[in-house]
Amino acid sequence: MKTIKGPALFLAQFVGDDAPFNSLDAICGWAAGLGYKGVQIPTWDRRLIDLERAASSQDYCDEITGTVAAHGMEVTELSTHLQGQLVAAHPVYDELLDGFAPPELHGKPAARQAWACEQVRLAARASRRMGLSAMPTFSGALAWPFLYPFPQRPPGLIESAFDELAARWRPLLDACEESGVDACFELHPGEDLHDGVSYEMFLDRVDNHTRANLLYDPSHFVLQQLDYLEHLEIYRDRIRAFHVKDAEFVPSGRQGVYGGYQSWVDRAGRFRSLGDGQVDFGRIFSQMAAHDFDGWAVLEWECALKHPEDGAREGAEFIARHIIRVTDHAFDDFAGAGTDEGANRRILGLEGTT
pLDDT tens-digit profile of 70-124? 999 999 999 999 999 999 999 999 999 999 999 999 999 999 999 999 999 999 9
> Does the pLDDT value for residue 220 go beyond 60?
yes
In a domain, 76, yes or no: yes
Instruction: Decide: 80 and 74 in contact? Cβ < 8 Å.
Output: no
pLDDT (0 to 100) of residue 190: 97
Whether residue 219 has pLDDT greater than 80: yes
CB within 8 Å of 224: residues ≥ 6 apart? 189, 194, 195, 257
CA distances from 43 to 15, 24, 73, 127, 227 (A): 12, 12, 18, 11, 31
Cα gap 205→354, rounded to integer Å: 52
119 lies in some domain? yes
Could you tell me how many residues make up the chain?
Answer: 354
For residue 169, being part of any structural domain is answered with yes
Question: For residues 277 and 303, what is the distance between their CA atoms, to the nearest angstrom?
Answer: 10
pLDDT for 336 beyond 70:
no
Going by pLDDT thresholds of 50, 70 and 90, the confidence category of residue 1 is: confident
Q: Is the pLDDT of residue 328 over 80?
A: no
C-alpha 240/C-alpha 31 separation (Å) is 23
Whole-angstrom CA distances from 212 to 11, 121, 194, 199, 215 are 24, 14, 14, 9, 10
- Residues 228-256 have pLDDT tens digits of 999 999 999 999 999 999 999 999 999 99
What is the pLDDT, as a whole number, of residue 318? 98
Q: What pLDDT is recorded for position 352?
A: 74
pTM across the whole model: 0.94
Q: Taking all residues of the chain, what is their mean pLDDT, rounded to a whole number?
A: 96
Burial class from Cβ neighbours inside 10 Å (0-12, 13-18, 19+) for residue 44 reads buried
d(CA 288, CA 239): 10
Position 115 in a domain: yes
In a domain, 285, yes or no: yes
The answer to whether residues 232 and 288 touch, using CB atoms and an 8 Å cutoff, is yes
- State how many domains the chain has: 1
Query: Measured over all CA atoms, what is the biggest interatomic distance in the chain, rounded to whole angstroms?
Result: 84
Amino acid at 110: A
**What pLDDT is stored for residue 19 in this prediction?**
97
Residue 140 within any structural domain of the chain: yes
Peptide bond into 7 cis (omega under 30): yes
pLDDT at 65 over 60: yes
Determine, yes or no, domain membership for 354: no
Contact by Cβ (8 Å): 70, 27? no
The per-residue pLDDT for 342 is 81
Position 333 pLDDT exceeds 80: no
Considering the domain boundaries, does residue 352 fall inside one? no
Query: What is the identity of the amino acid at 282?
Result: G
Range of the domain at 317: 5-347
Q: Looking at residue 66, which CATH number applies to its domain?
A: 3.20.20.150
Task: Summarize the confidence of residues 121-150 as an average pLDDT.
Answer: 98
pLDDT value at residue 338 = 67
